[in-house]
Amino acid sequence: MNPTKSPRWEIAADLRRRIIEDEIPRGSWLPTERDLAEELGVARATLREALRILRNEGFLKTVRGRSGGTMVTDLALPEELWYERMRQNPDEFDEVFDYRVAIETRGAYLASTRRNEEDLAAIEQSIAMLQGQDEVTCSSFREADSMFHNAVAQASGNKRLLAETRNTRGEIFFPLDFLPHPVYVVPALEGHAAVLNAVRYMDGRAAAAAMEVHLEQTRVELRTIIMMNARESHGRR
């Protein structure tokens, strides 16, 4: 049995993604175990095991006392461990990115055959959001970029593709969202526009090809950022 498919691991993965995507911000309190278990529709014992996993990974901490509870950490430990993995096993980044290319190119193909006007409007809105910013920060860029990729995945009409698109983006962009780094706005906008154009005209092959070109460009940019940070971290030791 694959342990990552057990309920506690699935819950831990969902909460981890929500923390990484800032749906549950750093330093915020989680609801009580009873309320959170009810919200997620799981047994409290299963939730407790999932929370234990995230505590061990450094995403959560327990605060004792009458006003205590479970809190999201500043994520310093998960970030440190992430970069250590990248330094020791750089192939891991490419493995995750290969998977992302596979699912998102298929998602773009399906989006071009299944999209409706509401889907197109959501993709257009994500592009307009990036175009309309006078000063693009790392966080605002990632927000608009995430909106674009999620909108394309949503247009595919496949819930599993949407979920995996969100999950793999979380693996790749954490902890880059929280660090100063170059923001490649022009290449991103060009890539997004090419995908949108193909999806609008319902050209599946062109949509998949445009998404692949865009993601491969992103791979090069992100590898540069990761290696740059790794060298800086090594220099501080």
Q: What DSSP designation does 202 have?
A: T
| Whether 67 and 96 share a structural domain | no
Structure tokens at 197: 């154009």
Check if the beta carbon of residue 130 is closer than 8 Å to that of residue 187.
Answer: no
- Report the pLDDT value the prediction gives residue 49, as an integer from 0 to 100: 96
- Name the 3-class secondary structure at 18: helix
First-last CA distance in the chain:
40
Check if the beta carbon of residue 157 is closer than 8 Å to that of residue 110.
Answer: yes
What is the reported pTM? Answer: 0.74
Per the structure, the complete domain to which residue 104 belongs is given by 78-235
Give the residue ranges of the chain where pLDDT is below 50: 1-2
- CB count within 10 Å of CB 214 equals 24
| Whether 107 and 181 share a structural domain | yes
- Report the pLDDT value the prediction gives residue 150, as an integer from 0 to 100: 94
| Whether 126 and 51 share a structural domain | no
Q: Total domain count for the chain?
A: 2
Domain CATH code at residue 109: 1.20.120.530
